[in-house]
Amino acid sequence: MRVVLAEDAVLLREGLVGLLERFGHTVAAAVGDAPSLIAAVEEHGPDIVVTDVRMPPGFTDEGLRAAFTLRAGRPGLPVLILSQYVQQAYVAELMDAGVGYLLKDRIGHVREFADALDRVAAGGTVVDPEVVRQLLTRRRDPLRRLTPREREVLALIAEGRSNAAIARTLVVTEAAVAKHIASILAKLDLPPAGDDHRRVLAVLAYLRG
Amino acid sequence: MHHPRNALQALAGRPLRFLWSAWPWRSLAYLLSGAVFGAAAALAISIALTAGVVAAVALAAVAVVPCGLVAGRFERWRLRLVDRAPAADPHERPGAPGPRAWLRTRLREQATWREAGYTLLSVLALWWVDLGAIAIGGAVPGVLLSAPFQPDTPLSLGLPLALAGAVIMPTAAYPITAWAGARATMARALLGSPDPELAEVVRSRARLVDAFEIERRRIERDLHDGAQQRLVTLALKLGMARLDLEPGSPAAERVAEAHEEAMQALAELRELIRGVHPRILTDLGLPEAVLDVAGRSPVPAEVDIVLPRRLPTATEVTAYFVVSEALANVAKHSRAARCLIRGRLTRETLVMEISDDGGGGADPASGTELAGLADRVAVLSGTMSLSSPAGGPTILRVEIPCA
């Protein structure tokens, strides 16, 4: 895949370039601020954009706003957003097909990171486990109805994992996962959704309350 | 209290020292001068009244401001009788020379109207009370002292009574001094400018807290831009090295260990930075930052904070750490099932309440961290109160003025 990367910390930017290349991607451009990010996407037309939320000049949410601008001009452009901290307000407006939201620390888990990148590029939704954990803490009451195993499955759904990936993580069969999911959706009064992506959004919307 | 600064302090000192001092006499003089002034003003008004009600009211309405200015000055001067600390003139200096600028400044400032109000109060009520305090305080000893001069009292009875009167005469000093002190406190509060010395102390403490906060933010920035970025990069490189090594080889194991260590260090550094000065607070303000802490709380925490705007940095940081520490205490001690964090800006004061449905019985003295935070709250002229009856619920309330 051709990637445009935006990250203002030079050291980390270089590390990320190395990581992306290690997994066989091409870094079309690696920039350090939001205007350069927009220009680089215009110039290179990448398959996916990886951007830090907080960048010069304002050091607030320039990267995020640039990503929205880019997606408005190129609907469906996959974007993986890296953040220093969990920002619940963003999770609400952010989550959509082909959008990922990961904490920066997650970069250290290189395989997880590369996996998330692939899922976002394929039009999936990826949510950092920490975000999901916080959401689960907030909506604790109705979740009491779930068994501990079902809660684990719910967390993995919310992170944007497919049935196959959930089965791999929990070391169970896909059929067992499907059964858990049906039970969870029934207990939470959520409509059964065939497609993974719509299911993620429904679960996230539910958790946000 | 060797050198009382005012009548009320003297009153609280040792009785003999107080009675021997000049304070009772000064108080008496203070009240008498007040009564004389009030009586003179009342007399002036009654004379005006004989000229007609309308004329009197009109005269009073016009005269109240200039009279107030003069009376205010006189009252501040008179205060020295019962208060060693001089009362500062609260009036502003006119912006330009000339009587018109002077008049404009005087009419605009609050001090002028306070003086007018105080003067009105003196004339209508206070001087009566001054006389009353003297009369009531001196009534019993006065009657006893006058016994020998009563025509139908024999001297054999009159002299002992007079003696008794002389003995209890000093008790009159207490009500007289007490009222004089109270009246002076009121006069100072209404007519003086706010104590400049105290205001300066509060300001300098607030500056210190601000300086402290700026320093913490600098440390946070350095850690974040330096150590944290390097650690993320290190973890990333170790993670990549793991991919390149043959699984199960000794080298792969050691690199895996190093990678885990790096991730652990990263998590600890993140925690450390959060304790110094959380970035989310700087960037997004109190409600988002509290949501973030609440999201990490082991006891489910509901957040209900509505603020119209960003608050001063010191206020935000203090409130944040109070919530953070309170949640830690809830998790450690309360056995609560859930807790609620509420925050509002009410009359320019940030009011935060952290309540839980746990067993109560929290001891404010046991939480040294909380006591430290109470100090920080106090420096911002705020208050912190804890209510935790046995059986619960526990409510921690913090108020910090933000004006």
Q: What digits encode the pLDDT tens for the residues A2-33?
A: 999 999 888 899 999 999 999 999 999 999 99
CB contacts < 8 Å between A and B, how many? 88
Cis previous bond, B175, omega within 30: no
CA distance A89 to chain B (A): 8
Query: Is A140 near chain B, with CB under 8 Å?
Result: yes
CA distance B8 to chain A (A): 56
B236: nearest CB among A108, A133, A134: A108
| Count of positions (residues) in chain B | 403
Cβ contact (<8 Å) for A15 and B297? no
Query: Is A12 near chain B, with CB under 8 Å?
Result: yes
User: According to the model, what pLDDT value does residue A138 have?
Assistant: 67
Query: Which chain B residue lies closest to A137 (C-alpha atoms)?
Result: B300
Residues of A in contact with B237 (CB under 8 A): 15, 18
Query: Which chain A residue lies closest to B234 (C-alpha atoms)?
Result: A108
List alpha helices for A9-147, DSSP H: 10-22, 34-44, 62-73, 88-94, 110-121, 129-138, 140-143
Cβ contact (<8 Å) for A87 and B296? no
CB atoms within 10 A of CB B231: 21
User: According to the model, what pLDDT value does residue B198 have?
Assistant: 63
Q: How far apart are CA B351 and CA A109, in angstroms?
A: 42
List alpha helices for B21-123, DSSP H: 23-50, 53-78, 99-108, 110-121
Q: How far apart are CA B137 and CA B169, in angstroms?
A: 9
Q: Which three-class secondary structure state does DSSP give residue B298?
A: coil
Query: Per-residue pLDDT for A129 more than 80?
Result: yes
Residues in B 189-208 with any Cβ partner in A closer than 8 A: none
Give the CA distances from residue B177 to residues B135, B244, B283, in Å, rounded to whole numbers and listed in that order: 13, 90, 57
Phi, then psi, of A29 in degrees rounded to 5: -155, 145
Amino acid of residue A188: L
| Mean pLDDT over each residue of chain A, to the nearest integer | 85
Residues of B in contact with A107 (CB under 8 A): 232, 235-236
Q: How far apart are CA B374 and CA B396, in angstroms?
A: 11
Query: Is B247 near chain A, with CB under 8 Å?
Result: no
B239: nearest CB among A11, A109, A137: A109
Residues of A in contact with B302 (CB under 8 A): 138
Cβ contact (<8 Å) for A137 and B295? yes
Residues of A in contact with B278 (CB under 8 A): 85
Cβ contact (<8 Å) for B263 and A109? yes
The domain spans of chain A are 2-127, 132-208
Give the CA distances from residue B127 to residues A197, B11, B178, B242, in Å, rounded to whole numbers and listed in that order: 83, 22, 15, 91
Cβ contact (<8 Å) for B280 and A87? yes
Cβ contact (<8 Å) for A12 and B263? no
Matching fold, domains A2-127 and A132-208: yes
Provide the CB-side half-sphere exposure for A183 (13 A, CA).
17
Residues of B in contact with A16 (CB under 8 A): 236
Cβ contact (<8 Å) for B232 and A54? no
CA distance A154 to chain B (A): 17
Q: How far apart are CA B129 and CA B34, in angstroms?
A: 10
Query: Which chain A residue lies closest to B224 (C-alpha atoms)?
Result: A84
Residues of B in contact with A9 (CB under 8 A): 225, 229
A11: nearest CB among B233, B239, B300: B233
Cβ contact (<8 Å) for B283 and A54? yes
Q: Which residue has the tokens 């640039």?
A: A66
Query: Is B291 near chain A, with CB under 8 Å?
Result: yes
Q: How far apart are CA B19 and CA B176, in angstroms?
A: 12
Fold assignment, B280-401: Heat Shock Protein 90 (3.30.565)
Cβ contact (<8 Å) for A16 and B236? yes
Fold assignment, A132-208: Rossmann fold (3.40.50)
Provide the CB-side half-sphere exposure for B249 (13 A, CA).
10
A84: nearest CB among B237, B279, B300: B279
Residue A120 banded pLDDT, cuts 50, 70, 90: very high
Query: Which chain B residue lies closest to A112 (C-alpha atoms)?
Result: B239
Residues of B in contact with A134 (CB under 8 A): 292, 295-296
**The dihedral sign for the CA sequence A95, A98, A103, A106:** positive
Cβ contact (<8 Å) for B284 and A87? yes
Tokens of B51: 């000229």
User: According to the model, what pLDDT value does residue B2 have?
Assistant: 59
Residue A141 banded pLDDT, cuts 50, 70, 90: low
Query: Is A129 near chain B, with CB under 8 Å?
Result: no
Query: Is A148 near chain B, with CB under 8 Å?
Result: no
Cis previous bond, B393, omega within 30: yes
**Which of A82, A75, A114 has the alpha carbon at shortest distance from A97?**
A75
- For B325-376, strand residue ranges (E) read 339-346, 349-356
Residues of B in contact with A127 (CB under 8 A): none
Residues of B in contact with A140 (CB under 8 A): 300, 338
> How confident is the prediction along chain B (403 residues), in pLDDT tens digits per residue?
457 888 888 888 888 888 888 888 999 999 998 888 888 888 887 887 787 777 777 777 777 778 888 888 888 888 888 888 777 788 877 878 888 888 888 888 888 888 888 888 888 888 888 888 888 888 888 888 888 888 777 878 888 888 888 888 888 888 888 899 898 888 888 887 766 566 666 677 777 777 888 888 888 888 887 888 889 999 999 999 998 888 889 989 999 999 999 999 998 998 888 888 888 888 888 998 998 888 888 888 888 999 999 998 888 989 999 999 888 888 887 788 889 999 999 888 899 999 888 877 777 666 667 777 787 888 888 888 888 788 778 888 999 988 7
Element (H, E) at B387: strand B383-387
Query: Which chain B residue lies closest to A23 (C-alpha atoms)?
Result: B240
Q: How far apart are the first and last CA of chain A?
A: 36
Query: Per-residue pLDDT for A95 more than 90?
Result: no
Q: How far apart are CA B252 and CA B246, in angstroms?
A: 6
Residues in A 42-101 with any Cβ partner in B closer than 8 A: 54, 59-60, 84-89
Q: Exposed (0-12), middle (13-18) or buried (19+): which is A52, by Cβ within 10 Å?
A: buried
**Top-tier CATH class for A2-127:** alpha beta
The domain spans of chain B are 7-194, 199-277, 280-401
